[in-house]
Structure formats: C-alpha cells, structure tokens
Structure 1
Amino acid sequence: MTDQAQLHQQLVDRMMANGSLRTESWARVAEAVPRHEFLRGGFFRRAADTTVTAWEAVHEGDDGWLESCYADESLVTQIAGTIVPEDIRGRITREPTSSSTMPSLVLRMLEDLQVEDGHQVLEVGTGTGYSTALLCARLGAGNVTSVEYDERVASRARAALGHLGTYPALVVGDGLLGHGAGGPYDRIIATCGVRAVPTAWVEQTRPGGLILAAVGGWLGSSELARLMVHEDGTASGPLLGGGVSFMLARPQLPPPLGLLPDLAEGKERETGTGADVLADWTSRFVVQLAVPGAQRVTLRRDGRIEDVLVDVETGSWAAVWWDGGRWLVRQAGPDALWDRVEEQSSRWCAAGAPLLEEFTVTVTPEGQALHW
C-alpha cells in the first residue's frame, strides 16, 4: 500500500471509529474519492510564530502536504477572494475566502442529506470539487449539478474532477439563485453559509425534497438546517445541532465597517445582559436573530475591553463592558441594538434556554423565520 493509500484508509477508519462517518455506503464512497487530487494547487497553513493571524502557502510535494490532505481538518485554499497558494512565497495576513472543508463534516452533511438512488442533487458551492466528487460517486455524475460563484475556483474543481474521469454539470454563477435549468431537484445542499435560505431553492426543490444548509449571520454563529419542501411552496425543518461553521456566501458577506462611530457619545446605562452572550455559540446565535445587521468588534479602550456591535446600514451601535461588578452599555443610533439583545435573550432564557436543536426554520415566499 502506498503512503497516499495508507493515509487515505486511516482517515476513513478514524471517521468510522469516532462516529463522524456513520454508514457503510458513505464509507465506501469516502474510500473511493482521494482528497489529495483536489488539493494539488496547495493550501494555506496558519503561521505559528506571529502575533497576528498570518497564512503561509503549502505546495504539492512540500513536507506535510500529503499528510495534511488526509488530516480531518479544513484547509484554506484561497485568500482575499483571488489569492491562491501558487501566488504566494512567504506570508499573507488577509482573510480566507475559500477552503476544503474537513472531511468528517462533508460526509456528515452528505449523510444528513438522506439521498437515495436516482435523486437529482444541486450542490451550492463547488469549492475544490471534493464534495462534488463524493456525490458523484454515490449517485452518478449525471444526477449532480454544482454551482460555484468564483470562476477561477470552478475551473480548478473542473480540472480535478476531470482528472478522475468525473463530469457532473458544473455551473459558474450565484448559487443563491440556484440553477433552475437543472431542476426540479430532490435535494439541495449548500457548502457555504447563508443568512437565510433563499426562496429560489425552495422553488427548485420537489415537494417532499430536502434542503440542507448552514444558517447563520454576521456575528459568526451558524447551524445546519434541514428543511422539507411542502406542496404549498413553503419549507420547514429543524436545526440539527453540532455548531457547524462555513464561510458565508459571498453576496451575503457584511459590508466594510469603515470608520467606527465615536464611542464616547450615546446614552450609558447598566444592563443585566453582559457581553458573555456574545461569547457562547448558542446565545450568540439567538442574539444574531435580534440584530441581523450588526457586526462585532472587540476593542481595548480606556483600560478596559469593550464589545461593540455596529450596524453599518443604520449607523446604530452599542458598546458593552464590565465595570467592577456590573455590566454597562452605551448605545446610539436609530435602533437601540442592545435593547433588542436584552429582549431576545430574556425571551430565550424565560423559555428555558432551549438548545439549537429545538429551533425550527420556516421559509415562505415572504422570507425566513426561526422560532423555538
């Protein structure tokens, strides 16, 4: 057995042993698709000896390249929307914009999708093409359509899939619009995060079909939702739990913060809801529903740490900090952001602080709603 084959088998065995890969049928699929074929362009590794988040390129043949391809971890494949490993010799400090998701999460999602033989599947977010290849190995390439927003990313995925002799329908475009020409679909799966499940996906899915996507927002908490499409053109279903995290679809990325407001202005008062609600994954998800247009910044100011929420569109903001035994908030703008946070957190706590698995997502032609 070659080093590559051994590493590949070890990855599958680990996923089966720890329960992240749960079915024999998908285990056979995982064994059939070599992940390294989709990472020949390299990836970015977080630099260890720096005080800021920096990335350095790892190229095919470098020490650790093959081992990382078969580690159960996500690997960044693009930075700042255009920069790939072959563009870099050294380090870069910009934000990641594309990655190869950790195999255990990819396979968990594919199992949660509950596909059956003959199903037509739309994948939103081709990425490297690894998850696309897994779908093709399970259903046949003729049953798989995949949409990728970034033309350069799509081209690399097409080449990798072609190298393996796999030819699904690959489309370059805005996946939030789906791909009506290939529908209707039995299943839609998104490998990017969305702030809300698009109504186009519901319209392009057969009644009884399923949509699987990570629903989240600009405060960085997200969760998998699995929705069934109904005869009346609506869809509903639960959050599945597990705290998954995906990069948001590019058209839904937050606007630049620009200059921060003058945090010395605004009305100051005591609050019973502290910034710790922003630290916990579940409570942050709940808060996010109340202030969907807000982004978070953490600052050191006047000798203290302040958590600041800023809504660029409305100009509203709220700064919260701990002041020797009590929480204080100062806020300004047309929307009292922290008032909304307090109200939402109080309602959630009064209901017994239900877990995200107890939430239901509903999508109608008017939009998306979440409730517990």
Structure 2
Amino acid sequence: MTIDDGRLRQNLADRLAAGGFLRTLPWRKAVEAVPRQEFLRGGFFEPVEGSVPTAWRPVMPDAPGWLERCHEDESLVTQVAGSVVPGDVRGEIMLPPTSSSTMPGLVVRMFEDLQVEDGQKVLEIGTGTGYSTALLSHRLGADLVTSVEVDTDVAMRAGVALGACGFFPDVVIGDGLAGHSDGAPYDRLIAACGVLRVPPVWLEQIRPGGTVLVTVCGWLYASELARLTVAEDHTATGRFLGGQISFMLARPQLPPPLGMLPDLDDGDERPARIAPSALDDWTARFVVQLACPRAQRITLDRAGHTEHVLLDVAAGAWAALREEGGRWLVRQGGPARLWDAVEEHLGRWRAEGAPGLERFEITVTPDEQAITWPTAR
C-alpha cells in the first residue's frame, strides 16, 4: 500500500497546532508543503533501548515505518562522532551525536517566536539536514534566507535535499559563530545550536530593531531560549522564553576534555550548606552556570563514597562533595572556591523567590554578556 506523505505532513501540522507550537497560517502552510523525509534520505540513528552510555543503530529508508518516523515530532540523529552517518554503520555504534534533524515542534515554535514578517532577511546558524532552512525558504522565499553550516559534508547533503525540494537559499560553509557578513544586514537571526555567549559579531550583522533568537547554554547543560532586540549601538537586550529548550553546543564552544583529575584529597574541607542534589533542578543548574560558567560536573565512586565533583579545567579549580554521617561535606582546591560561588548564587536566587527563567533578562555588549533575575521588592 502506498503511503500518502501529504497526509502525513498534514497530520504532523495538526499535532503541532494542537500542541501550541504551530500558531499562524504561513508556518502551517510551510509544514504541510515541505517533505521532511527528503532531508533524511541518508537515514537516521535511533537509540538502543537500555544502553549506557547510549548506543545508536541506523534506520535506513528501506526500513519498515521509516517514512512514518520522519513525520513524528521527534529529533532524529543524523551524524555521530563528527563524521559517521547511518549508511556507514552495520549494527550499533556508541559515540556521541554531532548533528540531527531537530524535532519539528521545536523548529516551528522557534520560528513563531522569531516573529518574522514578509520581506525580511533571515540568517540561520546551523543548517543541519536543511529541513528548517526549507521551512524558512517556503515562508519567506529562498532569496531572503542565508544558512551557515560548519560541517562541509552536512552542508552539501542539505544543499542537495533543498534543491530536490525546489529551494535554493544561500547555504554557506563556515563558522556560524562568525555569522555571514557578506549578506548583512539581516532582520532576524536564528540559531539551531547552543552558545555559551552570544557572539557580538552577530549583533553587528542585524539591523537596529532586529531580533536574535538563540539558546544560551553552559557546560552543566541547563539552557534556555533567549529573544534579544538589537540596538543602534550593536548591543542587545532580551528575555528568556521558557520551555527548557536544549540544543547541541556550537562545536567551538564544547567543553575541554577533563584530562587528569586533580588530587581530590587535597584542598580545604567544610560542611556544605547546599547539597549537590540542588543541581538536579534545571533552573537551579542554570543559576549555577552563572556562578561557574566553565565548570563541568562528574560523579565518582571513591574510597567507599560517591563524590559529586565540579571541575573548571582551565582555571584548575574544583569542588568535591560527599555525604558523611547524614551531612554533606565539600572539599575545594585551586585558585577559586567553586562551591562557595554556587552557594552564594543559589542563596541569592532562592532569597528572591526562585524566579523562573522566563523572568530572567539578558544583555549582550561587545565586551560582556550579563544575565540577571528580578529582585524582590
């Protein structure tokens, strides 16, 4: 029996509208018109249930249910380890994902939040499979869309799929963190990757009054979608939009290898005022990232204890927490006291009523990025 992919697209649009992601007619028309499967002709990876760490197995176009899976509202991994695609693998592979087709609900939610209007030029950071680029091209016209992709092979596959669908936007191979000055100025910039810091060069390429939509993240992997308005002086201010949105970090901003751990028996020890379980909360972890923007978190079983460790590799600072006798102890070493900073930030945030991330504000200038939360009155 032949499956009607048009009906699949319509059903997908119905589900996205019912979920509140798809809110306006132009974007609904784009979802109903763009065949997502054309951007997944090389297959995708699915996680192997129960595998730790996660193993991936390929799902190719000849697999039963492949077409239907292409029209589910789920992210589909299309590359692991920076170069391995589904067609390269027989069996399973246990390597980290490096490229994917983002879940359509998140794509269209972000496009709706971008608040783009007819005739506006858009710069997209992170082409990926090209599906989102095709939606943009359908909505605005391909001549108003520029998309930057750092991975040459990914960009080339996306270009082929876009052409097969009749879209010919400007797909640029390069570092998305540098934007694309040749096409500037743009009215809107949207990023399909997470960043530690919004690059000031992006703001230079957006018209005053224009919008930047990007996920701000950290190495503790709590992130949030920010919408910023660019001013005449190339600074920008905005707020977070809520929803605990997560993207892969831009490759140049990935955390460094942990390398050889410091001597965790060294350092100063004291009772901890806050337990490491506080970091299990998404918003609290985002606040902690403001205190320790370069810290990574690991768990170790050592000397009969489970230790929770924060480590700033570049600074050589660390904090290790363990439970003993019903209380938590923290031991810290290096040039900074990481857990002191954690307790100070979390203490202030809680004292202000623990506001949600949608109440936080972000300001970006050429020199710094500041994220603040409202104070109690």
Band the TM-score falls in, shorter-chain normalisation = over 0.9
State how far apart, in whole Å, the 2-side matches of 1:11 and 1:301 are. 49
**Aligned letter for 1:72?**
D
TM-score normalised by the chain length of structure 1: 0.97
Match of 1:2 in 2: 3
Match of 1:140 in 2: 141
The more displaced of 44-53 and 76-85 is 44-53
Match of 1:122 in 2: 123
Structure 2: gaps of 5 or more residues:
none
Contact 1:123-1:146 at 8 Å conserved across structures: yes
Match of 1:362 in 2: 363
Match of 1:52 in 2: 53
Q: CA deviation at 1:324?
A: 4.0
Mapped pair 1:371 → 2:372:
yes
State how far apart, in whole Å, the 2-side matches of 1:251 and 1:195 are. 10
Match of 1:69 in 2: 70
State how far apart, in whole Å, the 2-side matches of 1:167 and 1:129 are. 11
Contact 1:218-1:292 at 8 Å conserved across structures: yes
State how far apart, in whole Å, the 1-side matches of 2:251 and 2:174 are. 11
Deviation by residue 1:164-203 (Cα, 9 ceiling, x = unmatched): 1100001000010100000000000000000011101100
State how far apart, in whole Å, the 1-side matches of 2:73 and 2:304 are. 41
State how far apart, in whole Å, the 2-side matches of 1:37 and 1:324 are. 59
Match of 1:106 in 2: 107
Match of 2:269 in 1: 268
Match of 2:282 in 1: 281
State how far apart, in whole Å, the 2-side matches of 1:288 and 1:364 are. 19
Contact 2:128-2:149 at 8 Å conserved across structures: yes
Mapped pair 1:30 → 2:64:
no
Q: How many residues align?
A: 372
TM-score normalised by the chain length of structure 2: 0.96
**Aligned letter for 1:153?**
V
Q: CA deviation at 1:49?
A: 4.6
Match of 2:239 in 1: 238
Q: CA deviation at 1:326?
A: 1.8
Percent identity of paired positions between Structure 1 and Structure 2: 62
Deviation by residue 1:53-94 (Cα, 9 ceiling, x = unmatched): 111111111123222211111111110111111111111111
**Aligned letter for 1:359?**
F
Q: CA deviation at 1:8?
A: 2.0
Secondary structure at the residue paired with 1:260?
coil
Contact 2:124-2:191 at 8 Å conserved across structures: yes
State how far apart, in whole Å, the 2-side matches of 1:371 and 1:118 are. 34
Match of 1:187 in 2: 188
The more displaced of 65-74 and 101-110 is 65-74
Q: CA deviation at 1:325?
A: 2.6
Match of 2:16 in 1: 15
Match of 1:315 in 2: 316
Structure 1: gaps of 5 or more residues:
none
Secondary structure at the residue paired with 1:92?
coil
**Aligned letter for 1:190?**
A
State how far apart, in whole Å, the 2-side matches of 1:49 and 1:320 are. 29
RMSD of aligned Cα (Å):
1.2
Match of 2:331 in 1: 330
Secondary structure at the residue paired with 2:68?
helix
State how far apart, in whole Å, the 1-side matches of 2:263 and 2:295 are. 17
State how far apart, in whole Å, the 2-side matches of 1:272 and 1:103 are. 42
Match of 1:220 in 2: 221
The more displaced of 280-289 and 230-239 is 230-239
Secondary structure at the residue paired with 2:322?
strand
Match of 1:348 in 2: 349
The more displaced of 57-66 and 282-291 is 57-66
**Aligned letter for 1:18?**
G
Q: CA deviation at 1:52?
A: 3.1
State how far apart, in whole Å, the 2-side matches of 1:261 and 1:66 are. 50
Contact 1:277-1:287 at 8 Å conserved across structures: no
The more displaced of 15-24 and 275-284 is 15-24
Q: CA deviation at 1:262?
A: 2.2
Contact 1:123-1:190 at 8 Å conserved across structures: yes
Secondary structure at the residue paired with 1:9?
helix
State how far apart, in whole Å, the 2-side matches of 1:94 and 1:324 are. 39
Contact 2:9-2:33 at 8 Å conserved across structures: no
Q: CA deviation at 1:7?
A: 2.3
State how far apart, in whole Å, the 1-side matches of 2:324 and 2:122 are. 53
Change (3 A) 1:358 1:304: same
Q: CA deviation at 1:137?
A: 0.4
Q: CA deviation at 1:365?
A: 1.2
Match of 2:340 in 1: 339
Deviation by residue 1:83-130 (Cα, 9 ceiling, x = unmatched): 111111111111111111100000000000000000000000000000
**Aligned letter for 1:85?**
P
Mapped pair 1:290 → 2:291:
yes
For residues 141-160 of structure 1, the aligned pairs below 5 Å read: 141-160=142-161
Contact 2:6-2:32 at 8 Å conserved across structures: no
State how far apart, in whole Å, the 2-side matches of 1:242 and 1:363 are. 22
